[in-house]
Structure 1
Amino acid sequence: MQAVQIDSTSALLILCAFGVAWLAWGWYLGRKNKTLDDFALAGRNVGFALATATAMATWITSNTTLVAPQLTLQFGVWGMLGYSMAALGLLLFAPLAERIRKLMPHGFTSGDFILARYGRAAWAVFIIISLCYALGWLVSLSMAGGLLLSALSDLSYLTGMTAILLICVGYTLMGGLRAVIATDFVQSIVIIIGVVVIAVVCINTVSFETLHTELSARQPELLNLLFPAAIMFFFNNVFFGIGEIFHSNVWWSRAFAFAPGIGRRSYFTAGLLWLPIPIVTGFVALAAVTLGVVPPSPDMVGPMVAAKLLGDIGAVFVFIVVFSALASSMDSLLAATSDLLTQDVFRKLLRPDSDDMSLLKASKVIIVLLGLATWLISLPKLATLGALLNFTGAFVASTIWPIVYGIFDRRLTGKWAALAMTLGTVSGLCGYFLVGFYVAAIVSCSVSLLVCRVGLARATTLFDWQQLQEAPRVLK
């Protein structure tokens, strides 16, 4: 028995409504952007409510709404609990965000910090890791848009994937980070309401007792708390989530954009609000067995179960909720990656004498190019969203300790930071291909920590924090 689908006309109307609304709002907010700081960092004065909403909405991605249910169906209870541990990334980044704002009051990107703190070699490794992750996340989000539309309506994967890219590129291009944060605020409200409604309907339709009985009889391994691969996934996802946030310019750009004193409170609150959402979306996926929903792809189980529970109107509701979740992450990633490429590649390597207006134009061109590159790579459906995302775990987990030690300990040098990120990434990839995706981040983080500890033990100099007060923008 398949879930209810939206007819193609209704699906197109929803897409058009989304597109017109977000593009118009992006244009309206973009009128206030007069400088590069306005476009890239929303004037560096974002308040608590908007800061919390954008942090939470950005972290409610294709992972939370599509991959968390997929992994719950694969790993059971540990799948939903493991995904909820990604909240630790937001919670632990809270004190880092405050420290970053104080150390680098004029910083733009995470690359600014790495270059000033560790030098060119570590900076080059970090930029490669950051761009690999950003592209992987962008592709997963565009794929998710295509999968969502094809699973819930008669429209094709290509249509959905193209639509979400066009809409997000459009309003990000017109409004910059100011538009991204404003739309995130609305999208976070839509997402929270949607998740609560779907969870309540699921509990009322499929009781806990019925769900437990069905799973015990038909898929008992999903309730097994001693499932070895699931336990490994639990711990792997902790380090994956922390690495994703600690290194990504999505979160650093917000640390620079939030008003002084806002970062710690907003990230901590966002983490607490986000924590239960993967558990709820994962729980919904377990009802697939009872409801007889057989998704065409494992990463579509969540939306299809929700649409089945809510019926015709519910399918539209689910579509809007998941589409909001995808858009709230894609716009943030487009803006942050554009900043990284503009400041760390265009300005530092290609045009060191560029003025703010030249950089603003370059940033907008890069947003369009990022959208085009993502569309081309997403044309063939490369893998499930879970497999694609966890591949990047080997990259991002290697950056955790170089960043933590770089922010709080003056002893670690650039040579050891570069070595930690390189060896961590390589070893994590080996674990990914030789063992499984659920060990990549653990292996990468462990090797990186070991290298950092050796570097600290052999340290003979101390870094001067004053060097971070004026973030460098040109390579020496």
Structure 2
Amino acid sequence: MPSHLLPLAFWGFLLIYGGTLYVISPRAPTAATFYDGVSAGGRGVSAIPLTLSVFISWIFAKSVTNAANLGATYGAVGALAYATYWLSIPVAGIVIYRLRTRLGASSMTEFLVGRYGRGAAIAFSAAILVRLYNEVWSNTAVVGGYFGAPGTTGYITASVAFTAITLAYSIKGGLRGSIVTDGVQAVVFVALVVLLSASVLPAHGVGTLLASGDWRLDAGLDLLLVAGLQVFSYPFHDPVLTDRGFLARERTMLRAFLVAGILGFVAIAGFGLIGAHAMLSGIDVMGNAPAAVARSMGLGAFFLMSVVMMSSAGSTLDSTFSSLARSVARDMPRLAGNLHADRLRTGAIAMTVFAVLGNLPMLAGTDILRATTISGTMVIGLAPVFIFHGARRAALNFHLSFWTGIGIGIVQAFGAVPDGLHIGDGPYAALLGANAWGLALCTALFWLPLPRARGTA
């Protein structure tokens, strides 16, 4: 592909991509379709569409980039470190299965209201909004990076255009539209990743790539341990994932989550090995390993990599918008006692507001890895709440665990974790210390013997 045609190809694909998804996204005429993913004929979500949706909606553009960047820095250790986060999907599936079959819960907030009171559900919903807010800018920023350097006109214009395109078909189809378009995006993503991997991985051999890196705390192992700790809390504050846990019958949902988790782990680890290829080949990744590797293979490969990123970012962003609409327009008003708060217009307004405000960090140039590590630390207090969901603890136990986790996350975000609590001396020593000691503290507070209020389930 001639270099002067590359910008035209990028913009052409972006417009074709947006137009195609808008056409295939079914219009959501009812609240059940818009918020619950039910088809126009009243059917729920079947196994294969749910599996593809869970898989691709968690293959964030920022995650693919982070995995490859970590692979370029730490080799296979970095690749596996980031892929470990995808074990969150089976963990969430097992917990939600038990919430539904043993406790009869129809949503995460319903479980919290019944067990810990309305205040717990409100605090949880606030954490969800922060998570969803981060998902907007951290994915549009990745797409913008293929149109120009951060801060340039091309970067900003592409990020905004991509947001507008995704917003348009998200407002049209809601959660049902997200499920349908996820299937298309998953097929495109897998086909192109297989093609790109087949071009890259044989250069060194899978064995050499897997042997790259060192299993030391200061060489990426510390981040792998962080991910291993966060999988027990991280998935529960992500409604993009948990909303899908209530769309199908229990066993269908569990199978979908288990399969999607395995597929996601393999896909992210594979992308991490593309970064390891860059490390072994001496490619200067300049903060974007997938783009650097693709560029080294020629403009055609670079264009295909941009298509992969747009597909993964789009699937996450439309899922984010549908979860935002459900949270703001239905779940939170119901917590306030309005049981009929499911107007479609309110959901569309919520999507639009977050589309605008959600891009502000992107314009400020925030590091996309922070969208994962910081929010993941802040919600470590959710681990004992959901992992030990059968325990009958006081509402205060929830708040002690939850708000302690929030406080630890804030301390870690400002780089104020005391040196004595660091684990190891690598770049993630403070992060590992905050998560390990913080999770232990939150769990202890959750089990602190306290009297439960009368009537608590």
TM interval, short-chain normalised: 0.7 to 0.9
Query: CA separation in 1, counterparts of 2:339 and 2:62?
Result: 40
Work out whether 1:375 is the aligned partner of 2:374. no
Correspondence 1:185 to 2:168? no
Aligned twin of 2:31: 36
C-alpha contact 1:428 1:442 (8 A) present in aligned 2: no
Task: Show the counterpart of 2:139.
Answer: 141
Say which of 416, 423, 426 aligns to 1:434.
416
In structure 2, C-alpha distance between the alignment counterparts of 1:56 and 1:209, rounded to whole Å? 26
Among 110, 113, 124, which residue is 1:112 paired with? 110
Structure 1 match to 2:228:
238
The 10-residue stretch of structure 1 (394-403 or 316-325) with the greater mean CA deviation from structure 2: 394-403
Cα distance change on mapping 1:84 and 1:210 into 2, 3 Å = closer
**Which residue of the partner structure matches residue 335 of structure 1?**
322
Correspondence for 2:126: 128
Q: 2:293 aligns with which of 305, 319, 337?
A: 305
Question: Which of residues 198, 201, 206 in structure 1 aligns to 2:199?
Answer: 201
Which whole-Å CA distance do the structure 2 matches of 1:68 and 1:141 have between them? 14
Corresponding position of 1:366: 350
* Structure 2: gaps spanning 5 or more residues: 418-429
TM-superposed deviation, 1:103: 6.0
In 2: Cα distance, 1:250 partner to 1:462 partner: 34
1:280 to partner: Cα distance: 1.1
Q: 1:5 to 1:401 in 2, by over 3 A?
A: farther
Amino acid at match of 1:446: A
Q: Are the equivalent residues in 1 in contact too, given 2:57–2:182 (CA < 8 A)?
A: yes
> Could you say if the C-alpha distance between residues 211 and 71 of structure 1 is closer, same or farther in structure 2, counting changes exceeding 3 Å?
closer
- Asked if structure 2 preserves the Cα contact closer than 8 Å seen for 1:73 and 1:286, the reply is yes
Contact 1:58–1:329 under 8 Å retained in 2: yes
C-alpha contact 1:140 1:385 (8 A) present in aligned 2: yes
Aligned match of 2:338: 352
**Residue-by-residue CA offset, 1:24-56 (whole Å, 9 max, x unaligned):** 122xx11xx342121111127100000100011
**What are the equivalent positions in structure 2 for 1:3-402 lying under 5 Å apart?**
7-26=6-25, 29-30=26-27, 33-43=28-38, 45-102=44-101, 107=106, 109-150=107-148, 156-207=154-205, 223-228=213-218, 230-296=220-286, 298=287, 300-309=288-297, 311-349=298-336, 352=338, 354=340, 356=342, 359-382=343-366, 384-402=367-385
Please give the secondary structure, in 1, of the residue aligned with 2:284. Answer: coil
CA contact (8 A) 1:194 1:317 kept: yes
**1:57: how far off?**
0.5
Q: Is the contact between residue 424 and residue 446 of structure 1 (CA under 8 Å) also seen in structure 2?
A: no
Q: Is the 8 A contact 1:51 1:181 kept in 2?
A: yes
Label 1:10 to 1:70 Cα distance change in 2 as closer, same or farther (>3 A): same
Change in Cα spacing, 1:441 to 1:41, as seen in structure 2 (3 Å) is farther
Describe the shift of the 1:338–1:104 C-alpha distance in structure 2 as closer, same or farther (beyond 3 A). Answer: farther
SS of the residue 2:323 aligns to: helix
Deviation at 1:295, TM superposition (A): 3.4
Cα distance in 2 for partners of 1:260, 1:113 equals 16
Equivalent-residue separation in structure 2 for 1:184 and 1:205 (angstroms): 32
The 1:103–1:208 alpha-carbon spacing in structure 2 relative to 1, beyond 3 Å, is closer
SS at 1:150 equivalent: coil
Q: Per the alignment, in what secondary structure is the counterpart of residue 148 of structure 1? A: coil
Question: Any conservation in 1 of the 2:397–2:450 contact (CA below 8 Å)?
Answer: no
Looking at structure 2, the residues matched to 42 and 66 of structure 1 have their Cα atoms a distance apart, in angstroms, of 29
- The alignment's C-alpha RMSD in Å is 2.8
Cα 1:203–1:355 shift into 2, 3 Å: closer
Q: Distance in 2 between matches of 1:336 and 1:314?
A: 33
CA shift for structure 1 position 363: 1.0
Residue identity matched to 1:308:
S
**Deviation of the 1:269 alpha carbon:** 0.9
Tell me which amino acid in the other structure corresponds to 2:381. Answer: S
- Could you tell me how far 1:245 is from its partner in structure 2? 1.3
- Residue by residue over 1:358-379, the C-alpha shift from the partner in whole angstroms, topping out at 9 and shown as x without a partner, is x222111111111111123422
Please give the alpha-carbon distance, in whole angstroms, between the structure 2 residues aligned to 1:413 and 1:103.
20
Partner Cα separation in structure 2 for residue 155 and residue 11 of structure 1: 15
Q: Is the 8 A contact 1:122 1:415 kept in 2?
A: no
Opposite residue 306 of structure 1, the aligned amino acid is A
Task: Give the Cα–Cα distance (whole angstroms) in 1 for the partners of residues 102 and 346 of structure 2.
Answer: 27
Aligned partners of 1:243 and 1:6: how far apart in 2?
46
1:275 match: secondary structure? helix
> Whole-Å Cα distance in 2 between the matches of residues 104 and 273 of structure 1?
29
d(CA) in 2 for partners of 1:103 and 1:341?
28
Structure 2 residue aligned with 1:421: 402
Choose 270-279 or 45-54, whichever is displaced more.
270-279
**Residues 443 and 388 (structure 1), Cα distance of their counterparts in 2 relative to 1, 3 Å cut:** farther
Structure 1 CA distance for aligned equivalents of residues 432 and 73 of structure 2: 12
Q: Secondary structure at the match of 1:19?
A: helix
Shift of 1:234: 0.7
The size of the alignment, in residue pairs, is 437
Partners of 1:234 and 1:286 lie apart in 2 by: 16
- Letter of the 2:85 partner, please give it: A
Number of the residue aligned with 2:424:
none
Deviation at 1:104, TM superposition (A): 7.3
C-alpha distance 210-452 of structure 1, shift in aligned 2 (>3 A):
closer
Per-residue CA deviation, residues 411-450 of structure 1 (Å, 9 max, x unaligned), is 1121110110001221233244235445444344332212
Change (3 A) 1:434 1:57: same
* Cα shift at 1:210: 7.8
Structure with greater helix share of residues: 1
Q: 1:211 to 1:417 in 2, by over 3 A?
A: closer
Question: 1:233 & 1:173 partners in 2: Cα distance?
Answer: 37
Q: Deviations over 1:250-306 (max 9, x none)?
A: 22211221234311111011111112112211111122245453234x2x1123203
